[in-house]
Amino acid sequence: MLFKKTNSNESEIIRANLMTFVESTKVNVVTLSDAINVLSESVDANARGNEQIANSATNVAEKTAEQLELVKDNLNLIEENNSNMMRIDSSLKDISSRLDDTVKESNHGISRIKELDVDMKAMSNDLGRINDILSKFNHEIERISEVGDFIIEIVDQLQLLALNASIEAARAGEAGRGFSVVANEMNTMSTKTREGMETISDILSEITESSRMVNESIGNCTDTYNKSNSTFSTVSDSFNTINKSSHDIQKKLGDISSLFDVMSKNSDKSRVKAENLYETAEAISENTHEIAAVSEEVAAESIKIGTNTENLDNMLTGIRNLLKQYNTAIVPTNRRSSKQIKILSMSMLDNDFWYGVRKGVLYAQKELEECNAVVEYVPLIPGELSLDEIVINAVKSAIERKFDGIVFPGFLGGANKYFKEAAAKGIKIMAYNCDCSSEIPRIACLRPDPLEPGVLGAKAAERKVEGHGNVLMLTGDRTVGVNVERSDGFKDQLKNYKGMKVCDELTVPDNADKVYQIAKEGLSAHPEADIVFLTNGFPIPVANAIKDCGRSGKTSLVCFDHNQEIFQQIKAGIITAAIGQDAFGQGHDPVIWLYNNLVTGEKLDEFIPCRLSVVDRSNVDSLVEA
């Protein structure tokens, strides 16, 4: 059999693919182990539950029998309730009919009162007019009385004149006899006139008295009318109130009748449901015994599942042992500590890189479970507390609980005081991802080689353009060391490729929108660019800029970090390669290095490089999720 010799690039790709497979398998082992634990607990709980079900089946049967009796009683009550509601509904309808009659009579009474009120008002007006006429008549009588007084006064003067005439006639003797006769007649006429006027005066007095009495009667009638009018108003208001109340009662009775109709319908439905419930209860009673039998069968199956779970756990242990043979990083020492080792590991948890770090910590946690060691993971997710506050609380807790070691990302500088305090109390500190402040006496720092990521980026770019092409560099904030290191490593490696050159280098901030805008402007200014090399963490905006500028298939991106969105862009050909910094290893390896140091006491290198990996078109298919 002939074997084809592979070149160095192919070997490197195979090695990278193998390591990627191993790391992916480690992640799956963490997931599978968690699932087995959950399944095992579920099996135990299921077994206990089945036992309880079997023990409770008899009780359920007894309760079901009681339920049947209760349902039957409920059906009887529903029937009785229906009958009572029908009688109540009939009574309500009779009351409603009587109220209809009351409303009609009230309306008729109100109509008659209104007519009577009109007649009384007309009578009042007539009495008023009569009163005015009598007032005028009294006034005229007074005037007549005044004339009578005047006539009596004249009669008195005539009598006085007649007396004087008689005296003068007596003096004149025979010659005055005629005056004497006239004087007698005048005296007689005056006397009769006085008597007549006195009679007239008496009659006028009687008329005046009668008129006064009539006036008083009319006044009494007016007062009586006013009182009657007030009474009629009160009666009218009462009739109106009765009428309105009758209408309201009639409406409420209508509402009650409607509610009774609804209740009656609901009662019918309830009766139907109760009958169904009765039938269901009978079925439950019949099936309870079957449940008991099935529970026994399920209990037996649970035992089988428990056995299979144990076998699966043994298989998982075998997979772990197999992985140790192909491990690309650090494994726990075979030596064991006489006391339990307690390690605290913390990381950010806000993007795919840190999710990978967490998986590495959890894998280390599983590995060390059998080594009398406890690994506690603390996710750093700012919320109610700031990032520094979360770190400080975690370190203080580790000090109080006498932990043996702490693993943390070196850029967390807000808690330096407490890391120093922990080290002073004998807790060993290890940094990763980047180095911490020199004032913290850490035992080692696990981090990527400073220039290697840029070198790998240049190699990926060279493979894409086969040694000939132009590069547009987008360099992140140069106050951040990693951007400078990646840029320098890329340019140093690019010097080895005579057919490649940098056409421009632009500075981009840590802002997705601005990275996108600067990338578009750079691509428009340099249509000759075959490769875009990005040092900071915003590859997707650059990929979008390449597509939006119509450069798909002509310009491709070399970037950093791994996630599903980046893998999709690699598969689409927009990103040619993405350099990863072994997120899983950065979570896993520092914990194991620290554990080994705590157990063996062997000194660690000051800097421990983490493995870098490249995902490109050759290996992306195995990483893309369906």
pLDDT reading at 185 higher than 70: yes
pLDDT at 358 exceeding the cut of 90: yes
pLDDT at 564 over 50: yes
Q: Which residues contact 296 (CB under 8 A, 6 or more apart)?
A: 50, 54
Distance CA 332, CA 592 (A): 6
Question: In the prediction, which pLDDT does 369 show?
Answer: 92
> Tokens 């990863």 belong to which residue?
580
If one compares 486 and 66, the residue with the highest pLDDT of the two is 486
Share of the chain above pLDDT 90, in %: 40
Question: Mean pLDDT, to the nearest integer, of 85-103?
Answer: 71
pLDDT of residue 60: 66
Average pLDDT, the chain: 80
List 534's β-bridge partners, or say none. 474
Binned at pLDDT 50, 70 and 90, residue 75 comes out as low
Q: What is the pLDDT of residue 3?
A: 34
Spatial neighbors of 255 by CB under 8 A, at least 6 apart, are: none
pLDDT bucket at 6, cuts 50 / 70 / 90: very low
Residues 424, 442 contacting (CB under 8 angstroms): no
Point out which residues pair with 144 in neighbouring strands.
none
What is residue 212's predicted lDDT score, i.e. its pLDDT? Answer: 73
Strand order in the sheet with 444-447: 373-380, 341-348, 405-409, 428-432, 444-447, 607-609
| pLDDT for residue 7 is more than 60 | no
Stretch 101-120: mean pLDDT? 72
User: Model confidence over 370-387: pLDDT tens digits?
Assistant: 899 999 999 999 888 999
Identify the burial level of 530 via C-beta atoms within 10 angstroms of its C-beta, where 0-12 means exposed, 13-18 middle and 19 or more buried.
Answer: buried
**DSSP 3-state of 229:** helix
Tens-place pLDDT, residues 278-324: 677 666 666 666 665 665 666 666 666 666 666 665 655 555 554 54
In 193-271 the beta strands, taken as DSSP E runs, fall at none
**pLDDT value at residue 40:** 66
587 three-class SS: helix
Q: What is the DSSP string of 413-481?
A: GGGHHHHHHHHHTT-EEEEESS---TTS--SEEEE--SSHHHHHHHHHHHHHHTT-EEEEEEE--TTSH
The least confident of 308-312, 414-418, 458-462, 473-477 is 308-312
Amino acid at 231: T
Question: What's the pTM value of the predicted model, to 2 decimals?
Answer: 0.51
What CA–CA distance (Å, rounded) separates 229 from 238? Answer: 14
pLDDT in tens, 47-65: 666 666 666 666 666 666 6
Contact 561, 540 (CB under 8 A): no
Tell me how far apart the alpha carbons of residues 506 and 473 are, in angstroms, rounded to a whole number: 6
Higher pLDDT, 533 or 212: 533
pLDDT of residue 184: 77
Domains recognised in the chain with CATH numbers: 351-448+590-608 (3.40.50.2300), 452-580 (3.40.50.2300)
Q: Which residue has the tokens 């005044």?
A: 146
